Structure 1
């Protein structure tokens, strides 16, 4: 069984009292001011993932991680394998992040570019450098794809996920699976059951879109290959014939709260703040207050 304390000090294997308990958030390096503004309403030690966007410098990403730490949260920088130009660049990012921001957790992805900018084609090539465990990283996040992946079939996805989990654990670190966001609880629940049936007991964070304009949500869905059919969006509370206004994840989170049980293992939520950090944090606070026992 994965040591949950290595994933996050506040993580418990028992089901949360409210589905939003123990959530994590995502930000970009440009969101520092927004994070400062929202900080008083974010739970202490909340994990904050810092994305690896093209056009954002290493200095900007590290400054964001330092800010996350200074505000009392847990920084979790993303590293995109195919966007990293050299081993020296990777080493500098890992070494500076741990030294300057106290980073103990990272999230690794292959990245979108079809041709790598340097020697790293995928997550495994990053892990095999040994840089993470040598610099005191305790946990490594990897991606889960309940809606599938455009470049891999289901069998390949499961095989790669299992391989990453073994590699991370063999290096003395704990794996954490963070899924792509979605609009329908059913694929998440089905995927979780299969994950556990395959003996993968790593904690999972389910990706939830924060409240945002309907057109914005659909744009991100199209870009990320997330299912957003008329039937799926109706479950989420959106009509594709009426694209004005905003939508929040109330129905999705309610459905997850009803559906997740002990057989799904350790599960928490990860919020993608497509409509802005402040709006997402406000929604989480309101939802938590309404469902507090």
Structure 2
């Protein structure tokens, strides 16, 4: 609690600009059942009302996912579980998952994505097919997020053109005009603001105005981030990590997202119509580490619920 008591005595986060404080307000964070189990009480780490995504990795029983959602909901957090299309066998399975989440945890939000497996387990191959079932609208979901890839997705566009990704985004844009749910893009993480800004502007130019919740990797060991970045297909901004790895003075220091957040926040402040709405953290170095960084940099809006 020493950190929190110190924060209370200060007027704001040390070294953080007003732009960063505003940009971090209402951030979300991603957990898995096994990482959530290591947290004694989320209210000691996260602000009241923080949206918590629950990543569904292949092989995780749905019962563990639902139990994690219930635990978080009971602690007062809106949960947004992943629905990976390629591990959902059929519509009946999808509807059963929805019923379990709603019955146990009152879930009304979901992140729909293709999923990280090469061969579908059943009828679904994409998030668009999940949306087409109408199951989420029937269940009264209020928020539906779909994946965004600022640096492309080689699984969809092996040639790096982004052509198929853009076609899918246009489809999702049209779907957003027919559903009662509020839709947004939740993106893969990146380490350089410039490709993110260029991508966001390109969507707007293409008539895609879905709000963007930009993926940011939380503080972590450099080696850990490089491993995840390569596995997840992070593109041009991987050079930021590689350059850091070549600097002996920084090699052993943990990476923090300070620079990319500061640049995006400044751009947002200078361009109020910039379509990045929120920050979404991937806590690759641990949930507590990520939450502590947010507390130190985000002002009163990032103060944990139990410290408010």
**Shorter-normalised TM range:** 0.7 to 0.9
Q: 1:247 to 1:273 in 2, by over 3 A?
A: same
Q: Which runs of 5+ in 2 are unaligned?
A: 1-18, 303-308
* Cα shift readout 1:169-203 (whole Å, capped 9, x = no counterpart): 31322211011100000011111111122222222
State the match for 2:285 in structure 1.
Answer: 275
* Cα shift readout 1:68-96 (whole Å, capped 9, x = no counterpart): 11111110000111111232221111111
1:162 is the counterpart of 2:166: no
Other structure's SS at 1:170 match: coil
State the match for 2:8 in structure 1.
Answer: none
Q: 1:72 to 1:148 in 2, by over 3 A?
A: same
Q: Where in structure 1 do 4 or more consecutive aligned residues deviate above 4 Å? A: 228-231
From 185, 188, 207, give the equivalent of 1:180. Answer: 188
Q: Which runs of 5+ in 1 are unaligned?
A: 1-14
Number of equivalent positions: 276
| Bigger radius of gyration among the two | 2
User: Does the 8 A contact of 1:196 with 1:264 survive in 2?
Assistant: no
From 121, 128, 146, give the equivalent of 2:125. Answer: 121
From 209, 221, 226, give the equivalent of 2:217. Answer: 209
1:223 is the counterpart of 2:231: yes
State the match for 2:142 in structure 1.
Answer: 138
From 260, 263, 273, give the equivalent of 2:273. Answer: 263
State the match for 1:194 in structure 2.
Answer: 202
Normalised to the residue count of structure 2, the TM-score between the two structures is 0.83
Question: What's the offset of the Cα at 1:164?
Answer: 1.5
Question: What's the offset of the Cα at 1:67?
Answer: 1.1
Question: What's the offset of the Cα at 1:124?
Answer: 1.2
State the match for 1:110 in structure 2.
Answer: 114
User: Does the 8 A contact of 2:226 with 2:241 survive in 1?
Assistant: no
After superposition, the CA RMSD in angstroms is 2.2
Partners of 2:57 and 2:238 in 1: how far apart? 30
> Greater relative contact order (Cα 8 A, min sep 6): structure 1 or 2?
2
State the match for 1:5 in structure 2.
Answer: none
1:95 is the counterpart of 2:99: yes
* Cα shift readout 1:144-187 (whole Å, capped 9, x = no counterpart): 11101103232221110120232243132221101110000001
Partners of 1:212 and 1:167 in 2: how far apart? 37
Q: 1:228 to 1:118 in 2, by over 3 A?
A: same
